[in-house]
Amino acid sequence: MTGLNCCLEKQIKGFSLDVSIRSPAGITVLFGPSGSGKSMTLQLLAGLLAPDRGRVVLDGEILYDSEERVTVPPQKRSFGYVFQDAALFPHMTVMKNVLYGWPRSGGREGIGRAREMLERFHIRGMEDRYPCQISGGQKQRVALARALMRRPRALLLDEPFSALDIPLRAELRGFLSGLLEELRIPVILVTHDPADVSALADRVLFYKSGKIVTVENREDAIRTTGRRFEQDMDFREREALFTY
């Protein structure tokens, strides 16, 4: 069985998540307001948060199964993970941040792979700079390069464009779309921006209150995301209280 398949249940702080996802190669967007469980889903998939019950299978490999008591630790799950704020190490250069994604320390192979990723992400020449010396868009490119260093079998993206201005978001969407078309791995993209849906989604899972309320393809989702976004405005008001 190829692709990423999961069923996940988690209760925390009065919030309950109960979702099932089937994600083949391509981009599956988790769309919905803040507080609906999208980021929590990524944390459960990556093993950063333990489900109460469920199962996670990637390309036929069981990463988590509550009934069989199987739990593969996060560092051994073949996921790349990119956070909203890039999460670069401020005391490390761009090169060292990218090399951090290599499963083995340093070495000629790791450095060669890092140079390849820097070239691909158009950040060659910045190897010796620190995160405070590069732009927001460049930081996200470094974070993506680091996430793809070890050739992951799936990629988890948690609102990677939300901290960027509109022109830069459009640029990175185009760049990422071309790259992922080439890689053909399952990608789970968390967003509450309809522009991400129209530019990137192969399929869209609409989240609300810890549930997936509907699943749509890109064409249908483009027609409905604006309406759903407006309908969820009242729910988004609670964003200041908690974010999952």
Q: Examine the fold and report which residue of 151, 172, 201 is the final residue of a domain before the chain moves on.
A: 151
Q: Are residues 69 and 187 in the same domain?
A: yes
- Write the DSSP assignment of 52-95 as a string of letters: SEEEEEETTEEEEETTTTEE--GGGS-EEEE-TT----TTS-HH
pLDDT mean over 127-151 = 91
Q: Are 210 and 33 in contact (CB under 8 A)?
A: no
83 falls within a domain: no
Other CB atoms closer than 10 Å to residue 177's CB: what's the count?
Answer: 13
Residues 120 and 168 in one domain: no
Length of the chain: 244
14 and 122: one domain?
no
* Total domains, the chain: 2
Same domain flag for 127 and 11 = no
**Contacts with 233 (C-beta within 8 Å, 6 or more apart), sequence order:** none
- Looking at the structure, tell me whether residues 13 and 128 fall in a common domain: no
Q: Where are the alpha helices (DSSP H) in the chain?
A: 38-46, 94-99, 107-120, 136-148, 166-183, 194-200, 218-231, 233-236
Cα distance between residue 242 and residue 238, in whole Å = 7
Give the residue numbers spanning the domain of 123.
88-151
Quick: pLDDT tens for 200-224: 899 999 999 999 998 877 777 766 6
Which of 100, 126, 151 represents a domain boundary (last residue)?
A: 151
Rounded to a whole number of angstroms, the distance between the first and last alpha carbons of the chain is 30
CATH number of the domain to which 225 belongs: 3.40.50.300
Q: What is the pLDDT of residue 243?
A: 41
Taking CA 163 as the corner, what is the angle to CA 47 and CA 177, rounded to the nearest 5 degrees? Answer: 70
Is residue 64 domain-shared with residue 119, that is, in the same domain?
no
User: Looking at 101, 125, 151, which one is the last position of a domain?
Assistant: 151
Asked whether residue 125 falls in the same domain as residue 162, the answer is no
pTM of the prediction? 0.86
* Cα gap 160→139, rounded to integer Å: 10
pLDDT (0 to 100) of residue 30: 96
pLDDT band at 237 (very low <50, low <70, confident <90, very high): very low
What pLDDT does 234 receive? 46
